[in-house]
Amino acid sequence: MPNRIKDFSKLCLHTITNKPWNLRQCVENYSAAGISGITVWRNVLKDQNLNEMRRLLDDSPMKTVSVARGGFFPSAEKKKRQEAIDDNLSAIHEASTLGAPILVLVPGSESRQPLEKSREQIMEGILKVLPQAHDANVKLAIEPLHPMYAGDRSAVNTLAQANQMAEQINSDFVGVAIDVYHLWWDSDLHGEIKRCGKNGNILAFHICDWNVPTLDFLNDRGLMGDGCINVPEIREWMEEAGFNGFNEVEIFSDKYWAINQNEYIGKIKNAYLNFS
Amino acid sequence: MPNRIKDFSKLCLHTITNKPWNLRQCVENYSAAGISGITVWRNVLKDQNLNEMRRLLDDSPMKTVSVARGGFFPSAEKKKRQEAIDDNLSAIHEASTLGAPILVLVPGSESRQPLEKSREQIMEGILKVLPQAHDANVKLAIEPLHPMYAGDRSAVNTLAQANQMAEQINSDFVGVAIDVYHLWWDSDLHGEIKRCGKNGNILAFHICDWNVPTLDFLNDRGLMGDGCINVPEIREWMEEAGFNGFNEVEIFSDKYWAINQNEYIGKIKNAYLNFS
């Protein structure tokens, strides 16, 4: 049996988990609830003064864990690939200004071309923004997404592929974000987590659960304990591989977005202690 | 560029593709449309006289390619595992009675236990019904399903896993069904098709397309050309691996089930020649 989680010192919430809240509401309510870390989604930065948001985060007891999300590099159109580069440079600037050490990358996929071609463009995109990431002291975390997103959101669908990409780039500023939702089904997961740790490429750990049945491709993720993922086992694999960072709760859920968000935080804390 | 398909001599339809039709309607309309093979889903056999259905099939110009589907072996409850065995024995009997040489197995998965445990129960289930399959001269085709079904429909989610299972069982009466919908995203697919062919384990080839975006977990499959799967390339890999059987169109689609089914057959024939 994996070790139990005893406190909230490594509990981080993604602001998208509480989509109804703006960044100020997230910071105030997370802090009051004793949450230790926050990952800021870029939607809550829209039309905000970044320096003011930085002060808000700095004044809270929480650590700013990462910004989500950059990426979406592939396109059959050169103009759109350039737009993606520009957008990633903005995201790096936002992460740096907020004091977030990591930018999470959703790789992207272009349905009009082979997955291999999309993976090449993901590599190209990362290499193009890498100098700015280095200068800004922001690490880029490649997040492999579930194969059900291969057509439109990510041509990187296994940890093996993300590991290979990170190893090929071989930079202190590129690593991998490991999300149980995307990778739990993979019989190579344990071995690939070891490999990721051995190569110093683990940057982040995202948790939630897989509902059975799942009713929506995007917004029907479960809270830990709701579904069939053995989160404690995967967390133990992460720790054995040397990961010592935050356990980040990232849940897109129409169901949970519809309930009282402070009540939801209570459910998350309970699920975190008992099913994570 | 893969070779082009020039005629309908290897075109097989799954009766579920035309869900609004009963078996008699499928046989009559497929025959009239020059379709060469039929895979019979068990829902159209319900409350039918099997010997009468056998005569219907024998009197048609089509070849009966397979029966779909058995499987669904895993359960946390022993009673349900036994019910699955019994149901698979019925399915073998139905295939034999209809003169179908193959029974397609959807492996199944139990969300209350680890995937490894479900895979063990799938192996056990297949081994239990194998003697009857042998006696009935019906081959069992293990069909790996997309990882998005790992929670409830299949703990076998890659061709590598299905290959391993078939090789371990090592029987002339157990092989693999390869469906582009479930496997197109896998960067190991080409190599695993070669392996499957080399070991004499390719039993069936199912085709359709992956819609972008996909709106439903079950019933939003695309017709070849609708989505992002390179069906001709995968078909060529199959042929290079020695496969010489039918190209079976298996499409679950609320959209296509809602249109005139004879008109739909015309669309399928067109898509088959141009995008398969």
Residue B188 at interface with chain A, using a CB cutoff of 8 Å: no
Whether residue A1 is predicted with pLDDT greater than 80 in this model: the reply is: no
In terms of C-beta density within 10 A (0-12 exposed, 13-18 middle, 19 or more buried), how is residue B80 classed? middle
pLDDT digits (tens, 9 = 90+) for A170-195: 999 999 999 999 999 999 999 999 99
Residue A163 at interface with chain B, using a CB cutoff of 8 Å: no
Q: Do A185 and B147 touch (CB under 8 A)?
A: yes
Whether residue A159 is predicted with pLDDT greater than 90 in this model: the reply is: yes
**Count of beta carbons in the 10 Å neighbourhood of residue B213:** 14
Which element (helix H / strand E) includes A209? strand A209-210
Of chain B, the percentage scoring pLDDT greater than 70 comes to 100
CA angle, B182 then B208 then A153, to 5°: 55
A88 in Cβ contact with A71 (< 8 Å): yes
Residue A217 at interface with chain B, using a CB cutoff of 8 Å: yes
For A167, the token pair is: 């190893």
Residue A153 at interface with chain B, using a CB cutoff of 8 Å: no
User: What is the rounded distance in angstroms from the CA atom of residue A28 to the CA atom of residue A36?
Assistant: 12
pLDDT digits (tens, 9 = 90+) for B61-99: 999 999 999 999 999 999 999 999 999 999 999 999 999
Of chain A, the percentage scoring pLDDT greater than 90 comes to 99
Q: Which residues of A touch B2 (CB under 8 A)?
A: none
Min Cα distance A239 → chain B (Å) is 20
CA angle, A220 then A221 then A226, to 5°: 110
Tell me the residue type at B5: I
Mean pLDDT of chain B: 98
- pLDDT number for residue B51: 97
Q: Phi/psi of residue B258, each to 5°? A: -85, -15
Does the pTM exceed 0.95? yes
pLDDT digits (tens, 9 = 90+) for A49-95: 999 999 999 999 999 999 999 999 999 999 999 999 999 999 999 99
Whether residue B52 is predicted with pLDDT greater than 90 in this model: the reply is: yes
* For range B220-242, the mean pLDDT: 98
pLDDT digits (tens, 9 = 90+) for A104-141: 999 999 999 999 999 999 999 999 999 999 999 999 99
CA B237 to chain centre: 18
B8 in Cβ contact with B272 (< 8 Å): yes
Q: Do B111 and A227 touch (CB under 8 A)?
A: yes
For A34, the token pair is: 């004793």
Q: Do B116 and A186 touch (CB under 8 A)?
A: no
Q: Do A157 and B112 touch (CB under 8 A)?
A: no
Task: Name the residue with tokens 């089509």.
Answer: B62
Q: How far is CA B270 from CA B6, B7, B225, in A?
A: 11, 11, 10
Q: Do B152 and A185 touch (CB under 8 A)?
A: no
> What's chain A's length in residues?
276
Q: Do A114 and B157 touch (CB under 8 A)?
A: no
Based on DSSP, count helices (H) and strands (E) in chain B, helices before strands. Answer: 10, 10
Q: Which of A150, A212, A214 has its CB closest to that of B185?
A: A150
The interface pTM score, or ipTM, of the predicted complex is: 0.96
- pLDDT number for residue B2: 77
Residue B191 at interface with chain A, using a CB cutoff of 8 Å: no
